[in-house]
Structure 1
Amino acid sequence: MPEVHAILSASSSKRWLNCTPSARLEQNFPNESSVYAEEGTAAHALGEYKIRKYLHERVQRPTSEFDSEEMEGNTDIYAEFIINQIERIKETCPHPLVMVEERLDYSYLVPDGFGTGDCVIIADGTLYVNDYKNGKGVFVSCDHNPQMMLYALGAYHAYGYLYDIQKISMTIIQPRLENISTFECTVDELLDWGESYVRPRAKLAFEGKGNQVPGDWCRFCRVRCACKACAQEALALVKEEFLDLDAGVLEEEQRGDCLEETDATASFDPDTSAPTFKSPALLTKTDIEQMLPTLNRIESWIEAIFAYVSSEAINHGVTWAGYKVVEGRSKRQFLDTKSVVAAAQKAGYTDIYKTELISLTEFEKLMGKKKFQEVLGEYVVKPPGKLSLVPYSDPREAVDLQTAADEFDALD
């Protein structure tokens, strides 16, 4: 199960390592759960069950309101990755040490620091640390990921004196974004990072000292809605990106040249049918490219502010000048389904059920993967995923837009 969070938890380590006062500041705000966190907890429990069942442990299958074909499929991907990893390791090491939901203590570096490793394996001089991510809003890379590296430090501290560990292999499995990301380093590299970087910053963080530093790590920070550093950064970014986009244009406006007639047309690239933004009345393509990362940051901060004031008003009765709480539109629903069925049937209405084909996953479990492929394999198709624009830092491969368009046309 996901960790009960320490003050300096591994899951929030990117934040407190970069913005050291954030961990203590967060204690002034309630740690309210969300439906996404609850869904993630349910998915972790199901994934844990599948691994333990493979290891022949006596376990009971968990159930939750989030049970669905999608969650079944996502946790299958996670479990299959771990199982394949173990089976591959067994080819050279018949009895690897496999630990599921292992508490990992790294408090020798970070005061009161601990976390929970979803699956930790030690074999043939390698320490494997695996972590399941259920989210789909943020692509999580394992490359120098501080959460994974802290888990590895905790595991090495606990077992390094028993095993001759030479290499660290860390993997994040994020099925909803088709992301399996692995990062490897030597033990010396890991230990040097812990001593030279983590230890001094963890001391500052535990004491609530250091500078507030805004960044992408602010996304899930409870302080963000009231953080002066975030507000100052957002306002400065707005000023920089929107008021100072083109100093030359602003100078012309100050001279009154903006009163002259402007050519409001834009030329188009005949190959892409895209505007080239050459009109002085429009932002240039370069202007927009420079603004894109900033816009994401500003949008995220604004959303956090509105979420905070809404929660305070709805849950705690706080009033905000110029705003009020209203009831949204709702849909009718039956209060007691069994009573509805009984009353309808008593009145002579019996054709009140719909039948549906069982899901693809249920078919696969019913038949077994091999038989499923033989009988229904030719009828299975995996359509292309929804296209989205992401930064170059995203490790996913860029899409050939022409090929993608052809695939969508074929499906249509």
Structure 2
Amino acid sequence: MPEFRETTLPNGLRIAAEIDNRGYSAAFGYFVRSGARDEVDHESGLSHFLEHMMFKGTANRSAADVNRELDELGGQGNAYTSEEQTVYYATVLPKFQDRIVDLLSDMMRPSLAEVEFETERDVILEEIAKYEDQPPFGAFERALEVYFGPRGLGRRVLGTSESIETMKCEAMRAYFQRRYRPENMVLAASGNVDFDGLVEQAEKLSADWASTPMPSTPDPDDDKTVPAGISIDRHLEIPDAHQAYLIRMTDGPSAACDDRFATRALAAVVGDEGGSRLFWDLIDTGKAEVATVWPQEFMDTGAWFTYLVCDPADVKSNTKLIEDVIDRVVKDGVQKEELDQAINKATAGCIMQSERPSNRLFGLGSRWLTHREYFSTDDMLDRLKSLDVAAVSAAAKKYCSGESIEILAAKS
């Protein structure tokens, strides 16, 4: 059976591992409490920009060295940034544990060279332009901006062209010194892991991380203004769009709320991509290309999304169909048969995902970073199996009948 172990180093770095020596691989990752919600206006997009820069060399390795060594280890490594965290991870054979931890730890102290910063600025701008050209054309970002406001959880992870074009390397260095402190990070591992060796190595490699001087906190933003490059118009006019993209948002459970398990099951019953109520009413009938719902959980709040993609002429009628489905589930709740189906599907998915250390790593590291809490696979299965019709029906009444905001991206 997997064993969970954790410790906190003298410098504040937390280490958490789910150890299963039966595995053929081991996954490692640094989880940093650094995301879009932690930025101010002149830093908008900086967490994601910094993620790119962490691969651009250190005092010990060039950018080419970093990528070459990842290839040499045969590791599957990458990184991602969200509203609340940035994660750097890799999966390797257990015999390469020391080398991958050395590499990832070295990357956590990047050079942040001005020349690399200027080069990567163009890469980020191209990424923003490419993203804005793809459906649903920034509609999800607009929904978050309207629902949460254009700052905090509503701030764009990529930033805007305006914020990236005016960003300074000095601002990035100051942000790095504020957010990439050992007490604000978790080193997580899963699979065939030598935990004692991991702790010993990490303590040596991070020994001087706490000595980095803390820069001053930037001035707060003026909440009476809208950041440059941001619009809170609820209609996005897309001249070349052939379909319409409708997003609705209302309240949802946070990542700390017990309702989250019932709400996930509710989303499967109502809007799963196969076999759900919306699937049979809109997808199977050919009325829409996409008709789905899901909860999105953040540390201290959450949201419930409804998403529709269809011919512009059918938006009104399809929206009415979705509302009818939601109204029925709020009024009558869910049926035991459809809940059992959702639980069986979620249970199978949980078990299959748990077979790979790389899959287990993300839930382990994120949960320990944000809530200092560990959920084993058995814990998750117990939560799923304990769900009943009453709990899921109550979640429908609580989260599907509140005030919502609506964003439409379509040709006018």
TM-score, length basis structure 1 = 0.21
Structure of greater Rg: 1
- Structure ranking higher on relative contact order (CA contacts 8 Å, 6+ apart): 2
